[in-house]
Structure 1
């Protein structure tokens, strides 16, 4: 039993590491070779639980990983990219469905309409383009007269609000995130103390905005404290 449990732990760990090496694109896009590699690795990773020749399985995992890396390099060539990845297909153009492209892509009209509704476009006439991407997702470009107004359309200049960076998560300092804003842990503890939280364990979640170093604290008890637009040390300066 202990040998079996050890085998499970070993194979699980190896599979996680190998799939991680495939890269984030394998999960973000799931092209044909990405999906094939993941399925093969999952199958090979489970097979040793029934197969005693463990070395053969590791050899198979290595081969699949090398094949995937090879395919990711090959798709950099334009003609191979078209062959292995495919090209986008325009399913709707100027509010009209391209029936031939729809049939050729084996994408049903029901699925297309459902995707448009999920994207907030129940009327096809409001869609300038609907493009079926090689990864299976549909990109929707709306007509100009249905595009939501933005400050840019009104020639308004908006002040940059900054990005809230998590500096405390479940009572623990996120040192790398603190370093991103050019500060250190001692500085953060002083700011939390000035906000009324000398014990960092009382802070469930805290963020600092990168633009003005505004501190926001959440104790996890239903309340949120915004510690001003400036931190205490900046105000003193």
Structure 2
């Protein structure tokens, strides 16, 4: 039972950490960040199971994490208003060719990273973009200005 409670606490802490880290970081992890998360996973495992190296202890911890993930997904579908809390809301980060620097700062995204993402989608200038939305999954949706003519 102690392993199940520890796994539940760690689940909540990891959820809070991923929310605090920010969307731009979760969208694409650098090599260092990937190693950090893998290492964090190993450290978390040790904290959950302590000295219990049994198959039952490991299965209890993994099952608890899986069950809580399913519950969060179910709650997201059942109560759509929770989606903003559980997964975040889309954020308009550029409108009519002008980046919203306040929104980018609130999401901890540097302007040069935002422009890099725009170039990756084929935009040379912000003025070519009508709307850009930072999605809850960390990706940015870009919408081009309509061409006249």
Q: TM-score, normalised by structure 2?
A: 0.64
Counterpart of 1:131 (choices 127, 130, 133) is 133
Displaced runs of 4 or more, over 3 A:
none
Between the aligned partners of 1:81 and 1:94, the Cα distance in structure 2 is 28
Matches within 5 A, 1:139-178: 139-145=141-147
Question: Cα deviation per residue 1:114-143 (whole Å; 9 max; x = unaligned)?
Answer: 000111102100000011000000000000
Q: Structure 1 residues 99, 143: closer, same or farther in 2, change over 3 A?
A: same
More helix by share: 2
What CA RMSD, in Å, does the superposition of the two structures yield over aligned residues? 2.7
Between the aligned partners of 2:42 and 2:74, the Cα distance in structure 1 is 24
Between the aligned partners of 1:128 and 1:104, the Cα distance in structure 2 is 21
Q: Structure 1 residues 43, 72: closer, same or farther in 2, change over 3 A?
A: farther
More strand by share: 1
Q: Match of 2:147, SS?
A: helix
Q: State the Cα distance separating 1:108 from its structure 2 match.
A: 1.1
Q: Which has the higher contact order (CA 8 A, sep 6+)?
A: 2
Between the aligned partners of 2:133 and 2:101, the Cα distance in structure 1 is 13
Between the aligned partners of 1:68 and 1:78, the Cα distance in structure 2 is 16
> Aligned residues, how many?
107
Q: TM-score, normalised by structure 1?
A: 0.41
Q: State the Cα distance separating 1:43 from its structure 2 match.
A: 4.3
User: Counterpart in 2 of 1:120?
Assistant: 122
Question: Cα deviation per residue 1:140-180 (whole Å; 9 max; x = unaligned)?
Answer: 0000018xxxxxxxxxxxxxxxxxxxxxxxxxxxxxxxxxx
Structure showing greater Rg: 1
